[in-house]
Amino acid sequence: MFSKYLTIYLSTVIVMSVLLATLVLRFKLAASRFLIMLVLLLVILPLPIGYFYFIYVDSLPEVSVPDLTGLRLEEAMKRVAVLRLKGRHVGNVYDMKYPEGYVVSQRPEAGRKVKVGRMVNLIASSGKRRVIVPNLLGRPESQAEAVLAAGGLMLGEITRDYTPEIDPDIVLGQNPLPGEEVAVETRVAITISSQQQNETAAVSSEGQSGPVEQPSVTEPEQKGGFRLWW
């Protein structure tokens, strides 16, 4: 440890001496009390700085930074505390892979050797990016999927509603509604117009369009051609 410290110290003194000599020669500075004090300061100052560094910093044990990605933020904080490191939440980002509140990235990286007490910065997921649902009402069905895809959404269930007064395949309704804020990749269900009745309606509409009259039931005639009236 001492040889390492001595090497750093001598290197610092040499570099500062060269810089100081360059300034003296360039600006033709005369030797003065200020210049002498500056030289002494450059020679002496690294001594206490180096001492405190090697005693209180370099002598600290090293630990390996654990992999915290994919952990809940609170769990990650506990994990680094056990290793005598300090966890710090530094921000959030939208992320498709991890749910909201889970660690997305870290600095220093997992596996890196650091001194005890080192700060580990954590970035958490804020969930999927949220988007505004576009207005599909009145659009043809053929345009709905493209409009949704442009906004990061997906086409969901398609139902048909018998509306003979409207052109077929026109969007009549949607869920979620236009203007709602939803997570990206949410499926939007739509109802489109149709000029064909559904199966149930088609069966009930066979024959007459109005109610079907049932034949009146009369008492059977007696043999011999007589009808009973009571």
| CATH code (residue 76) | 3.30.10.20
Residue 230: the pLDDT is 36
Does residue 212 lie in a domain region? Answer: no
Residue 33 sits in the same domain as residue 86: no
Within 10 angstroms of residue 125's Cβ, the number of other Cβ atoms is: 22
Residue 209: the pLDDT is 39
Domain-ending residue, one of 12, 37, 56: 56
Backbone angles phi, psi at 70, to 5 degrees: 90, -5
Task: Give CA–CA dist 192/159, Å, rounded.
Answer: 6
Residue 140 sits in the same domain as residue 182: yes
Residue 149: the pLDDT is 93
- The separation between the first and the last C-alpha atoms of the chain, rounded to the nearest angstrom, is 128
The domain total for the chain is 3
Asked if residues 40 and 47 have their Cβ atoms less than 8 Å apart, the reply is no
Does residue 118 lie in a domain region? Answer: yes
Residue 69 sits in the same domain as residue 106: yes
Does residue 88 lie in a domain region? Answer: yes
Pull the structure tokens for residue 140: 């043809």
Q: What is the maximum alpha-carbon separation in the chain?
A: 155
Residue 102 sits in the same domain as residue 140: no
Burial class (CB in 10 A: 0-12, 13-18, 19+), 98: buried
Residue 78 sits in the same domain as residue 95: yes
Within 10 angstroms of residue 218's Cβ, the number of other Cβ atoms is: 7
Domain-ending residue, one of 70, 97, 125: 125
Does residue 204 lie in a domain region? Answer: no
Residue 82 sits in the same domain as residue 110: yes
Residue 29: the pLDDT is 57
Residue 74 sits in the same domain as residue 113: yes
Does residue 97 lie in a domain region? Answer: yes
* pLDDT one digit per residue (tens) for the chain, 230 residues: 556 666 766 777 777 777 767 766 666 655 556 666 666 676 677 667 666 666 555 667 889 999 999 999 999 999 999 999 999 999 999 888 898 999 999 999 999 999 888 999 999 998 888 899 999 999 999 999 999 999 999 999 999 999 989 999 999 999 999 999 998 889 999 999 998 875 333 333 333 334 444 444 444 444 444 343 33
Within 10 angstroms of residue 73's Cβ, the number of other Cβ atoms is: 19
Does residue 52 lie in a domain region? Answer: yes
Does residue 178 lie in a domain region? Answer: yes
Residue 162 sits in the same domain as residue 108: no
pTM over 0.85: no
Backbone angles phi, psi at 83, to 5 degrees: -90, 10
Residue 82: the pLDDT is 94
In 57-101, which residue ranges form alpha helices assigned H by DSSP?
Answer: 73-82
DSSP secondary-structure letter at 111? T
Does residue 144 lie in a domain region? Answer: yes
The dihedral through the CA atoms of 31, 35, 41, 46 has a sign that is: negative
Residue 35: the pLDDT is 64
Question: Measured at the alpha carbon of residue 96, what is the angle toward residues 94 and 98, in degrees to the nearest 5?
Answer: 90
Q: In terms of residue numbers, what domain contains 148?
A: 131-197
